Chain A
């Protein structure tokens, strides 16, 4: 177990180092940092001084080391455009994105899994055929189009829900939340559905396929032969065994929710990290791009790590296999 965790941690560290290298190369070699930071009329001496202060004359490896150290200390550089520390910008935007992602994953899990179980258990009814068709529609629909259609229906035609922004937010010092005001909650509805819909249909289809496969296995037949109730078979035996792939996919998709938040945030002008990133891409604001990249990489690495560990907790077979394999090799 410990060897497994350590190996995973080492891999995660390697990934982070590689991403850090990309972010550093971005900052150092794409465009000219001095040119982007200095004003038009700054003197040559000032530029020289700036270069010295940033240490741009040192060997690349020294600069890279310093960059990583700075990142670890939470200093992610200064945005070219806003002239504000990037860490501050991201901290401002983080709550908006995380609240949106949280609501979207709740939408996806709470609706997706039950629908998947239902269509898996009653595969030949009209309802599940319709649900299957709708879900296929759902995965073919690009996120931004879902958002636009929802805005068209609920904001333009019916005029009941806001189409942009977070509404009123309450400032809790280091965190701003939209959960505490009516307008904040109303503003969350459309973006969460938009972001969650794709993952919801994906989860539903996954749970359905897994249920179908598990229901065909011998131990389910055996459980039936033992005379267990349908309820206990379906939920105690079948659903439990579909959970391994579902956890993997749900975990991985949590990461892509954060990435797809870029699109949802653009459609709804949601003041989160994704919107910040898109603006950075438009303005070629390299420090913000690099910092966002590392932030996302960190989130992904952590999620993957947790998913791997959850495997362990959920599937006892893995534990035995590894223990046996570990016993022989070491």
Chain B
């Protein structure tokens, strides 16, 4: 197991040492986008340290503080930089904790999509034949439906199957599963494509002649060499997964309001839009857009950097 991990790490290192990193340093947009992404991820991880109180804990906020606008406005209170919501929660703290939930769901669902998609892609590309044809047909059919619809359906299904009391507690896992399943196809296709190229190269043929087991060849020889494209897909899809999560939560089928993600915050705020309390909606929305924008910019740059036509 450690040997495989080492090989994988080697694949990633070789990828990072190459032209890619050079081109990264050359691109101002990529550097800024990476910086913003890094700041957002680390502040989400450090949310308990940065926020003034825990918005999940009702004992830490007070209804008297409700509906303060951001501090630069007329009735603002310097204690609440971005204002408070209808229950007196500090918006900044709620956003920090909310982006934590959003990013965690995004990260784990992409991990899950990789865990499903990479093995299928490897086997499909390496074995070929009927198995490949069947697997890719299934992928084609799924790809012709938008991911959000599939995620919604799985989420709706889970509601039907799970009894009421389990539903709330498992909501986050259901969502990770739903988003993961709706994104595996891209990984499977990318891995399959690269695998078909790699399997005809000499080092794979050599390993085959040496009598290595096919699974060994796939895991230790081919996989480390195709980590580059997989990383790109993972980056772009992370942004998509975060957006999907926010959308599902906004539609009210995602994470429960007891543990709000950015999407849930926006949905709650939406109810107060007509009372003029715009900050409850707009700030979480802005954070969501900045996050996806910077990850998309990174993804854009990566795609260009990896495209040999543009070099």
A-to-B contact residues, CB < 8 Å: 15, 18, 26, 30-31, 136-137, 139-145, 148-149, 151-152, 156, 163, 252, 255-256, 259-260, 262-263, 266-267, 277-278, 280-282, 284, 286, 289, 293, 296-297, 300-301, 304
Contact = CB atoms under 8 A, between A and B. Distances in A.
B88 to A, nearest CB: 23
Of B155, B273, B276, which is in contact with the most chain A CB atoms at under 10 Å from its CB? B273
A263 B148 CA distance: 10
B20 interface: no
A12 B222 CA distance: 35
Contacts of B250: 142, 144, 263, 266
A148 B146 contact: no
B57 to A, nearest CB: 28
A30 B152 contact: no
Most buried by B among A139, A145, A259: A145
Nearest to B286: A145
B149 interface: yes
A137 B288 CA distance: 12
A143 B252 contact: no
B40 to A, nearest CB: 13
B145 A300 contact: yes
Given A140-B289, A262-B152, A300-B144, A281 B159 contact: yes
Contacts of B157: 26, 30
Interface string B49-66: 000000000000000000
Nearest to A297: B145
Given A144-B266, A152-B282, A281-B155, A304 B144 contact: yes
| Interface of A: prevailing SS | helix
A140 B293 contact: yes
B33 to A, nearest CB: 10
Given A143-B247, A256-B146, A260-B146, 7 more contacts: A26-B157, A136-B293, A140-B289, A152-B278, A260-B148, A284-B160, A296-B145
Chain B contact patch, size range:
35 or more
A142 B156 contact: no
A15 B137 CA distance: 10
B274 A31 contact: no
Nearest to B158: A30
A145 B278 CA distance: 12
Interface string B133-158: 00000000100111011001101110
A152 B149 CA distance: 27
Interface of B: 141, 144-146, 148-149, 152-153, 155-157, 159-161, 239, 243, 246-247, 250-253, 266, 270, 273-274, 276, 278, 281-282, 285, 288-289, 292-293, 296-297, 300
19 contacts: A15-B141, A26-B157, A31-B160, A140-B239, A140-B293, A142-B246, A143-B247, A144-B246, A145-B285, A145-B288, A148-B273, A148-B285, A149-B285, A151-B273, A259-B146, A262-B251, A263-B148, A263-B250, A293-B153
Contact of A289 (B156, B161, B252, B293): B156
A145 B282 CA distance: 8
B296 A140 contact: yes
B144 A252 contact: yes
B166 to A, nearest CB: 14
Contacts of A255: 144-146
A282 B282 contact: no
Contact of A142 (B144, B159, B288): B288
Q: Can you list the 5 inter-chain pairs with the closest CB atoms, starting with the nearest?
A: A281-B156, A140-B293, A30-B160, A256-B146, A140-B292
A293 B141 CA distance: 14
Contacts of B266: 144-145, 148
A67 to B, nearest CB: 17
B285 A137 contact: no
Given A31-B160, A296-B149, A142 B247 contact: yes
Contact of A26 (B160, B285, B288, B296): B160
A145 B265 CA distance: 12
